[in-house]
Structure formats: structure tokens, C-alpha cells
Structure 1
Amino acid sequence: MADNDDASSQNSGPKPDGVQILNELRMAALREVDGAKLMYCARPILRIESFLIDLYRWFHRKVCLVAGVGFFTDAYDLFAINIASVMLGYVYGHYPDSSCRPTLNPTQDLGLKIAAPVGTFFGQLLFGWFADIVGRKRMYGVELILMIVGTFSQATAAEGQAISVIAMLIFWRFIVSRLIVFVVHCTDIFFGGQMMTSVFAAQGWGNLAASIVAIVITVIYKDKISGDFPLDTCTQTCNIHATIVQVCSSPSTLNHVDYMWRLLLGLGCVPGAIALYFRLTIPETPRFTMDIERNVARATADINGALHPARGRNRNTVTQRADAPRATFTDFWDFFSKRDNFLMLCGTAYSWLAIDVAFYTLSLNSSIIFEAINFGSSAKVYDTLYNICKGNLIISLAGLIPGYWVCFLFIETMGRKRIQLMGFAVLTVLFVVMGASYNALIPDGGTAGDGNKVPAKTIVFVFLFCLANFFQNFGPNTTTFLIPGEIFPTRYRATAHGISAATGKLGAIVAQVIFRRLDPVSSSRRNLALSFGVLSIFTMSGVFSTLLVPETKGVSLEVLSNENQEGFMRAPRGEVNVQDGIVIPLERLDDLP
């Protein structure tokens, strides 16, 4: 009898109101996402649970695949221009002097290489802001469409009396921009860094694919472009540019090179089209649905549908908005006017700038650097293009891709901050060594492009070059992408990530301008050594900016956001009828940890 009285007294106690249940459900759903690994590892694995693990893993693999294809396409287009600019030089360029192959003039080459970073600078700010308003999924689709249209339009750009093909390429490369934060909202605290690293590593595969496609196209057209570009064959006036240019005795050679760069750039839109289709099958990120759309019930249904497919989704879930902190200019100012938050933003933004100065200097100008060290120069079109493609392939296989995946292996053990500090420090040492030893390692003249044997000293320099690319990716190039996607609250995560990325692209623009001003090929050979010295200054400064950011390893996004999560959801304007299941079905609470 006493037991019944106790039970009745407990049942008659105060019931939690709708707002309290909203907060409890939100935190339970976030714990389920963050603790997905423990959820499956803490219990005996039965046959049906093994099947659920496979489905759970497939969902995350699918998210990584769709987001990664976007980065793959973007990287393919970004780095293919490094090779395509050499091809464009043969078709639309001129001879700067009697000893060089035909090339684009410095202004044209600079325009092609900074158009994408300039477009990305504005795109990151604009799309990052829009992504915090309309959603990551929707803006990711818009960016994929722009990427596909821009990539295909580059391949169809034409030359005419009233328009320049280089100008059209610059315009369309401005349209193609970098992707927003997407996958971070679907990660847990155990695999989050590895998931984001695997997505970002698609850049390495995009670079490798651009090199492979370029070398395959070059080999296919070998018989068509094996002739020389003799300086004394003929000279004619170009009616379009009103300049004197040297042309090959076989105009068909130029036509075939024109086909080559169009194929190289145009094929980049294929993976983007595939990603656009699969994007339709991925739901909006649960944190955006809860914290921005303020729809806890729908976010919970999405989480259950993704992590527990056997349960299915509750088709009776009704959309009802709760009240939560909203993204407004006043709220943005209040959040980032706090010293800690402002310093974190400064740390992520400047660190990204420091590494992008180095990354884009090496990546977008590798063909120029190869020519400066006599690795690729030849009178024959085929030999020049083949050597440049081979050099880019070596860099991808020996530096870029290993760096990404070594970072993938250690990101959850070493931590983001430690890897970033190590990367900046090692890069500083490498750039100082490369600049100081350049004159000793690279002899005057050289025969690397014309002979079959590459000088041993040149091999040493190429090894250092690959090592620098390795520690860029096993270092700040990867972590500067991860950290700003983890440390800011959901309503400003894409905006803050966009600000950081845009600052990085500002560094890429500055890097291209400085590099072209130094002109290491046409000017004194000491200018390339000076370029590495300038890079070492930026990477050294990155060590200090890294000290401003926190370590994010093993910490949930809500803790990192530097906001109190208790009572995060507030009462909406209307009544919250929780017991009738309008906001949240009560039976759903039994399914959550």
C-alpha cells in the first residue's frame, strides 16, 4: 500500500513543460550524434546490430562521398589550370624572347591563376552567410550547379574579334568558387576530424586526377604535337592582338593543342554532375535544423532515420518552431565582440592566410618552378607538356596525397592544433633550406628537360619540394579547414568559416601577385630563392596565430561553441502541446539515450 502511495505521489509531481522537453530532446539527439561510436561499441554486437553498424557507416560514407566529390571537382579545376595555361600559351601566347617557348604574357597568366581565388574570396563570404540562413544542403547544391556551369563554359570559351578567350576563361574561373561547410554537422566527436579530413583529402585526388588526365591527353595527341616550334620558320602579324608572334610551320599542331586544354578543363564537370544527383538524397544537417530552423522534432526524425533506419521516420511529426538564439547582426556583433571569440576568429583567419600564401604559390606555379629549375623546358611541344605533367604527377603522388592521408591517420590522436603547429614549423625550416641552397642545387643552364638524365642536385631540390607539399597537407592546409568548422556556434559556423577561408584566399591572391612580380623564369634566378624566403616569413607567423585557437580533438561542437547549452531552446510564441505529439512524440524519448 505504501508503495502504491509512493508511486502515486511520484506520478502526481510536477511534469516537465514543453520547453524543458525540447531542451532535453535536443541534448539527447546531439549526444546520439556525438556518441555514435560508443553507441555501437558499448554493447554486445548482435547480427542485427552489425547490420545497423554497416548502415550507420554507409550514411557517413555517403555524406563524405558527396561532399568530397565537390572538393574533388573544385581541386581538379583549380590545379588543371596550372597545366592548361602552358597549353594556352602555345595557342594564344607569344615568344617573350628568342630562347623561350610561346607563353601567355604575365598579365594573362596572373589573371587565369587569381580569378578562382578572387571568386572564392567573395563566394566564401556570400555563400557562407547564405548557408547560415537557408541551409548547408541548399547552398551546396547551388555551388555545385555554378561549378558545373562554370567548368563546362571554360571548355567552350572562344576567341573572336570582339572577345578574348583568355578574358572569358578569367570570367568563368571567377564564377567557380570553393565549397561551404557541410559534413562537419554530421560528425561525431570520435570520427569528426577523420571524416572532415577524408572529405578535404579529395583535393589531393582532384589534383592527381588533373595530372593523370593531362598526361593521358598528351600521350593520345603525341603524334600530332611532336614537332618543334622553330623560331626562324615564319613570323606573322596577329590581327586580333595586333602583336608580332611566332607561329609553328604546322598550324594543325596548334589546333590539336587547342583541343587538349579544352578536354582537360571540360572533363572536370563530370564528377560535379554526379555529386549533384546524390546531394538530393542527403537530409539537411541536424544541427542546422535544430538551432537555425528551430525544429527539434524534424532534426530528431532525421537523426533516427540516418542512424536507426530500422525505426523509420515518424510521418506524423508536425513542424513547430521553438525559440532559439537567432543569427542577427546584433547577435553576431555581441558574440564576436567578446575577446575570446574574436581572437579565435583572428587565429583561424590569419592561419589560413599564412598557409594559402605558401600552398597556392607552390601549387599554381609548379610548371613555372619546373621550368626555372630546367625540369620541363624543351623545343618540342610534346616533351615540354609531358615533362610538366610528369612533374605534377610526382608532386601529387609523393607529396600531396600522402600528406592528406597521414593527417587522416593522426588527426584524432595528435590533435588539430599540434599538427598545425608542427606543420608551420617544419615548412618554415624547409623554405629556409630551399631558398638558401637553391643556387647550389640548381646549376646554370641544365639539361633536365632535354636529356634523359636529371642532375642529382635537381632531384634533391624536387625532393624538398615534395616534402614541403607533404607537410602542407600533414599540417596547416588541412587543419585550417577543420578548426573553423568546429569552434563556432551553428548559426555562425558557415559565416565564420567563410570569413576564415576568404582571408586565406586573400593570401592566395597576394601570393600570385608577389610571385609574378618576382618573375623567377625571366628575371634573375635568385628571385626564386627569394620567393622561398618570403614564404618562410608567412609560415613562421602562422606558428603564432595557431596559438590563438583551441584544441578541438574529442570535444563536441556545442562545447566548442563557447555558449551555455542549458536552456538553449526557449518557449515559442504559441503553446507547446508536447503530450499530444504536436511538437515531439513522447514515445520518441524512449528511443534516445
Structure 2
Amino acid sequence: MALQHHHHHDPTNQGMFSAPHDPETSDDHAIVGPPLQSDEAKVLKSLIYPDDTYTSEGTYWADLPFGKQLAFNAKVDRAEAAKELRSTGYMIKEDPLSPVAWYFKNAVLPGAGLGLEGYVLFSIGNVTPLFAAVWPSCWKNYTVCTKTWVDAISYLEISGIIVGQIIVGFLGDGIGRRWGLIQDAIVMFIGLLMLVASWGTSLNGWVICYAWALFFYGIGVGGEYPMTATAAMENATGSGKVSTKEDRLHRGRKVTMAFLMQGWGQFFNQSLLIVLLLIFHHGSGNPPYSAVAAQWIFRVSFAIPALGTLWLVYYRYYKMPLASKTLNAVKKKARVTGYDVQSLNLTCKHFGGRLIATAGAWYANDVFFYGNKLFQSQFIAVISPGNKSVMTGWLWNLVNVGVSLCGYYLASFLIDNKFIGRKRLQQLGFLMDFVLFVVPGWDYSYYTTKAHIGAFQTMYFLSSFFNQFGPNSTTFLVAAEVYPTPVRATAHGVSAAAGKLGALTAAIVFTYTDIVEKFHFVPWFGLAGMIVTFIFLPDTTGLDLKEQERRFEYIRAGREQEYHGIAVHPHHLSVWERFRGAGKSYNPELDYIDKVKDIREEWTNRQAEKVASDDLIVFDDEYPSEIHEYFVRTSSVPVVQKKNTPLGGGVDSDETGNETGNEKNEKANR
């Protein structure tokens, strides 16, 4: 889309700006910012033109010709990888186990809730074959138990998750992230106690109790989706006005590292069930299985995560006091208490296409995701005909989970690469799943013969890999990333609920179809997901999250057309948004003028607040020291330095509540 040719005088009177051109033009016509020789430009360069997204001339990476885009981003990625390798080397030299501690803090703890829920939810499917083997009159023949209630186990579980995703998503935006995280853990803990203690005067009574316990537990699980995604993302971003390289280069990795704990939950559950079967079945995995052994296996398997969930309640209550910091800062600026209804209305108006993308793609993905799980029994029946052992199915599932974990980790590794990114990764995953399901469905009898069973097995495992490598990881990330902070949890919860409707669709349809019809039904959701992603999903890879917030502030103020920054760069907009003209206002020259004005205005307001609250400190923890010093020299705002207070910016506190540099300085002053 060609851009209008504008000329504006440099606010520093140092010359004319370069005129913007179309992002896809030649090397000699890349869009550049203003000259950087003025004092103002030199001081603000690191803030307005960070070197990981802008060239030394002030050109945004997406405005470069394609070849130079690849070269620029490859250089940035190599430098960042080298820095991380050096840091890892220093850590290992100082303490060989410190990388493990780093991973535990940055991936395991943020994703602990998803790990625990993944353990429990997939345990339901794993223990079902054991129940069917021990109580066939209840779980297979339905002579003792009502088939409706046995089927209701899956339906109530998914329904509980949907309720939690929607309700906790709204409450997480209205009350706060920290509250949502704590209540999720409490609900899941109580739900696990109900599962461990589930009983009845008859087998059918126990099934009913078991189903409602899963519904209650599912509410906590549902809330975990929007709360974990928003907390992990906002912790990576911070609540200050200054964006960070960590946000721009590693935001996707930070969120997906938390999400992949769901895969580890599945892995540990399946591993533990195998061990428990050997313990309580006298070292054998072969049938027949006793009712006593089955009771011990499933109750112990639920009791263990109950202990972990109780610890999670403690950790979130006492060690995550700042989980709502970013949300509170945004609400304070907008002068909003409670739920921000205005932001919800504006999001529906301006980002409705994105909701189609995140909800629609998640719906399509969960048909695939749960289709893969539901096909597991048929898959095992084909490769192990005549098998009666629960252990065989569990061992094959363990292999499948291992393959899935490879997909999770590779997605986490590549999701911030600007050439691959969220959108292409999601499209690739959908396309590959479409192919890997449609091929065996085209000639099922051919691929399930003994001579071609290897090909069938390979396609099944690859479908697991590409589902995690693509849409199952990306949908979790983008459903939080493409929306404004005030409604981020709501939008994520609604999108995730749409996904669970896809799971419910799969569960219901598969009840009334045979295996070949299932293979004919599922692939088209991969094709639909790819199309929805292409049309409606913007590519936010490498896009500064705070810049998206800045754009939303303009929208909130009714000045949408006055925003000219990179959040409306055509590269970061969906096909639908470009069609509607959202990218027409992109203009780096005008954006520079606006950014300088916005930054100075925010700094001035901040100083006024400090003076009004008697917090008279000359440094500001939201801006680097050299920028703060420049504003002090060129501003009439009164600032007073506290005795012994160092000049310079601080660092935001992390999610664990550790002291920041500013907190330590204040303690020293006191």
C-alpha cells in the first residue's frame, strides 16, 4: 500500500525529514526517521530507535527491502544469541546449577499452574482404559452405569473449563491478575480433593460424583489460561513506559515456555501412572486388573498434584505481589476502577477481526488437538492388534507426549524469529496437520495394513509434533498479545473458550462417527484455521508491546488517525485490517514528532505527581538516566534530589517480589 508523500520541518531545526515510501521499495528508498545529529535526537535515540529494531539511520526493520530485513534481523539474533551464550557460560562458571535455577524461575514457576492442570486433565483420558478394563459393566457395556453419565464426564469437564475461561477472564481484568492466579489455584486444589475423595453408594453414583468434581476442577483450569498468559506476558514487558529488548526479542519465548509446562504435566502423569500400575499390580502391566489396584492408582495419581497445587496457592499469595502491576498502571492512567467497559467496547470496534482470528483459529486447533488424543485408541489398535494391556497404550502415549514436547520446545525457540514468527508458524502447523490427517483418511485401509503401518505411525506422530510446533502454542500466545492490557484476559478467555467448544465439537461428533469418518471430518479444520489465520491474524512478532498500548491510548482518546507509529505498519496488520485502511496513517516522520511530545508529556506528568505526593526524587524509575537528565535540563518542572539518592533509572520488581534497585535505594535513604 503506497504511502502519502509528506514534508515536515525537523522540530530541532536541523533539516528536512526524509520522505516515506512504500516498505517494499528499493534499497535507496527505505523509510527513515529524522536526522540524529541534534542533542534531542542523540539523547532519545536509544528510546525511540532501539538498535535491535532500527538501523543506525533510524529505519524500522520492516521498512527495509526483504534482503536487508533478513540481514538486519540475522545480525540482531546472532548478537543476542552470543550474549545469552556468554551469560550462560558465566552462570555455569560461577555455579554449574544456576541455569537450572534460571529455567525453574522463568519457565517452571510461571507455567506451574498449566503443568498441574495438564497433568490432571490428560490423566482423565489416561485412566479411562483402566476403568473400562476393571469395571466393563460401567465403562464399556453400560449395564450398571448410565451411558449418559459416563459420556457426561468429558462434557462436564470441558464445560467447566469454558465457564472458568470466560468468567475468570472478565474478573482478571476487573479485579486483577494476582486475584485470578490465586483463586485458580484454590479452585483446582479443592477440585483435586473432590476427585481424590469421589465416591458413591453404587458405581453409577461414583461416576456422577467424579463428573461433577471434574466440572468444578475445570473452572480453575479454565481461569488458568487467561491468567497465566497475561501474567507471563506482562511480566516480560514490565509496567514502565520504556520498552525493553527482552520484550521485543523474547516475549513469545517467555510465554510459550510457561505454556509448554502443560506438555510436561502430561509427561509426568503418564510416567507416574505407569509406575503406580507396576506398584499396585504386583510389578506387572498385564490384565486382569483388580478393583483395589485401580482405586489406589487413580486416587494416588490425583493426590500428588493436590500437594503441588496447595504449594502453588502459597507461592502465588506470598511471592507474586506485583502480578497486577501492569494492569493497575494502565487503569490508573485511564482513571478507571473496576472493569474497563470503554476499552472492551473499543476493542470490539477496532479489533473485532483479531477476535475472529484468535477465537476461530483456537476452535479449529482444538478439533485437531483433541482429535489426535481421541484417535489414540484406534492408532494403538492398528499398530498393536489384539492388545488387551493398558500398559501398551500408556507406553505409546508416553512416546507421543515426548514427540509433542519436541514441538513445544522448537516453537518456543523459533517463535520470536521475525522471518518465521507467530503467523507463519501457525499457518504451517495448520497446513501440516491438514495434510497429515487427510492422507490416511484418503485411503485408510491402505495405511492400516501391516505393510504400510510404519507410514501411518509416522503421520500420527508428526501430527502431534506440528500441532504443538504450530497452532497449539501460537494460539495461546497471540490471544493475549494482540489485545490491549485492560481487556487482555477477557479476550484471551473468550478465545480459549472458543477453543474448548472445538474440543466439545470433536467429542460429540466422534461419538457418532466411525474411524474413517473421523479422518474425513478433522482435516478441514486445519485448512479453515490456516485461512482464518491468513486473513484476520496480524503478525506481532518483534512488535513492541508498549507501542501497541500507545496506539490504543490514541484510540481511547478518539485520535486513531493521529497515530502514525509502527503498530499500524502494514507488516504488523492483518490482511483484513489493511483492507479496512488501518495502515494508511503510518508515517515515521510524524511519529517521531508525536513520540517526543508523548515522552516529554508523560515525564512531566510523572514529575508533577512526585511533587504533589512529596516524593521529590530527581530520578525516575521509568526512564534511563541520560534521558531523565536531558528532561531535567530542558524542563521547568520542579524536581528535588533526595540526599544520597543516585541519579539514574531503576529496574521494575519481578514477579517473585524481589527488591528492585529503587526499593533498595529508598531503604538506604530511610
- Alignment TM class, shorter chain as reference: 0.7 to 0.9
- 1:223, 1:425 → 2: CA distance? 46
* 1:73-84 correspondence to structure 2 within 5 Å: 73-84=116-127
Q: CA deviation at 1:94?
A: 1.5
User: Which of 105, 108, 133 in structure 2 is aligned with 1:62?
Assistant: 105
C-alpha spacing 1:258/1:103, structure 2 compared with 1 (3 Å): farther
User: Which of 516, 520, 524 in structure 2 is aligned with 1:533?
Assistant: 520
2:378 aligns to what? 369
C-alpha spacing 1:59/1:95, structure 2 compared with 1 (3 Å): closer
**Conserved 8 A contact 1:576-1:583:** no
1:116 aligns to what? 157
User: Which of 262, 275, 284 in structure 1 is aligned with 2:299?
Assistant: 262
Q: CA deviation at 1:268?
A: 2.5
* 1:59-458 correspondence to structure 2 within 5 Å: 62-94=105-137, 107-160=148-201, 164-176=205-217, 177-178=221-222, 179=224, 180=227, 181=229, 182-187=231-236, 188-223=247-282, 253-279=290-316, 280-282=318-320, 283-294=322-333, 323=335, 327-338=339-350, 341-363=351-373, 365-370=374-379, 372-373=381-382, 375=384, 377-379=386-388, 384-397=389-402, 399-413=403-417, 414-443=420-449, 455=450, 457-458=452-453
- 1:486, 1:426 → 2: CA distance? 24
User: Which of 619, 623, 644 in structure 2 is aligned with 1:587?
Assistant: 619
The residue identity in structure 2 corresponding to 1:559 is: E
C-alpha spacing 1:260/1:563, structure 2 compared with 1 (3 Å): same
Q: CA deviation at 1:367?
A: 4.8
1:21 aligns to what? none
- 1:278, 1:405 → 2: CA distance? 26
**Conserved 8 A contact 1:88-1:104:** no
Q: CA deviation at 1:259?
A: 1.8
User: Could you give the per-residue CA deviations for residues 204-250 of structure 1, whole angstroms, max 9, x where no partner exists?
Assistant: 11111111011111222333877756xxxxxxxxxxxxxxxxxxxxx
1:461 aligns to what? 456
C-alpha spacing 1:490/1:546, structure 2 compared with 1 (3 Å): same
Q: CA deviation at 1:138?
A: 1.8
User: Could you give the per-residue CA deviations for residues 369-405 of structure 1, whole angstroms, max 9, x where no partner exists?
Assistant: 24542637545xxxx21111111111111x2111101
2:529 aligns to what? 542
C-alpha spacing 1:130/1:511, structure 2 compared with 1 (3 Å): same
- 1:482, 1:145 → 2: CA distance? 24
Q: CA deviation at 1:59?
A: 7.7
- 2:328, 2:161 → 1: CA distance? 26
The one of the two structures with greater contact order (alpha-carbon pairs below 8 A, sep at least 6) is 1
User: Which of 509, 515, 536 in structure 2 is aligned with 1:514?
Assistant: 509
1:20 aligns to what? none
**Conserved 8 A contact 2:280-2:296:** no
- 1:101, 1:217 → 2: CA distance? 27
C-alpha spacing 1:371/1:426, structure 2 compared with 1 (3 Å): closer
The residue identity in structure 2 corresponding to 1:273 is: L
- 2:187, 2:353 → 1: CA distance? 34
**Conserved 8 A contact 1:64-1:199:** yes
**Conserved 8 A contact 1:370-1:376:** no
1:521 aligns to what? none
Q: CA deviation at 1:327?
A: 4.3
The residue identity in structure 1 corresponding to 2:391 is: Y
1:555 aligns to what? 543
Q: CA deviation at 1:560?
A: 3.2
User: Which of 480, 492, 495 in structure 1 is aligned with 2:487?
Assistant: 492
- 1:583, 1:41 → 2: CA distance? 41
User: Could you give the per-residue CA deviations for residues 513-571 of structure 1, whole angstroms, max 9, x where no partner exists?
Assistant: 111122xxxxxxxx212212211111110011112111111112233354146769999
**Conserved 8 A contact 2:174-2:340:** no
C-alpha spacing 1:224/1:39, structure 2 compared with 1 (3 Å): closer
C-alpha spacing 1:406/1:331, structure 2 compared with 1 (3 Å): closer
2:335 partner SS: coil
C-alpha spacing 1:293/1:495, structure 2 compared with 1 (3 Å): same
C-alpha spacing 1:586/1:275, structure 2 compared with 1 (3 Å): same
**Conserved 8 A contact 1:218-1:385:** no
**Conserved 8 A contact 1:63-1:183:** no
Q: CA deviation at 1:292?
A: 2.5
User: Could you give the per-residue CA deviations for residues 129-161 of structure 1, whole angstroms, max 9, x where no partner exists?
Assistant: 111122112211110111122123212101215
C-alpha spacing 1:69/1:268, structure 2 compared with 1 (3 Å): same
2:630 aligns to what? none
Identity of aligned residues (%): 22
**Conserved 8 A contact 2:130-2:294:** yes
1:164 partner SS: helix
2:620 partner SS: helix
C-alpha spacing 1:171/1:143, structure 2 compared with 1 (3 Å): same
Gaps of 5+ in 2: 1-45, 55-76, 237-246, 555-594, 626-647, 651-670
**Conserved 8 A contact 1:370-1:391:** no
Q: CA deviation at 1:325?
A: 9.6
- 2:505, 2:616 → 1: CA distance? 52
Higher helix share: 2
**Conserved 8 A contact 2:365-2:499:** yes
**Conserved 8 A contact 1:417-1:549:** yes
The residue identity in structure 1 corresponding to 2:353 is: L
C-alpha spacing 1:168/1:505, structure 2 compared with 1 (3 Å): same
- 1:62, 1:389 → 2: CA distance? 31
1:587 partner SS: coil
Q: CA deviation at 1:438?
A: 2.0
C-alpha spacing 1:487/1:222, structure 2 compared with 1 (3 Å): same
C-alpha spacing 1:534/1:416, structure 2 compared with 1 (3 Å): same
- 1:285, 1:107 → 2: CA distance? 42
C-alpha spacing 1:101/1:492, structure 2 compared with 1 (3 Å): closer
- 2:101, 2:396 → 1: CA distance? 36
Which range is displaced more, 59-68 or 423-432?
A: 59-68
Q: State how many pairs are aligned.
A: 488
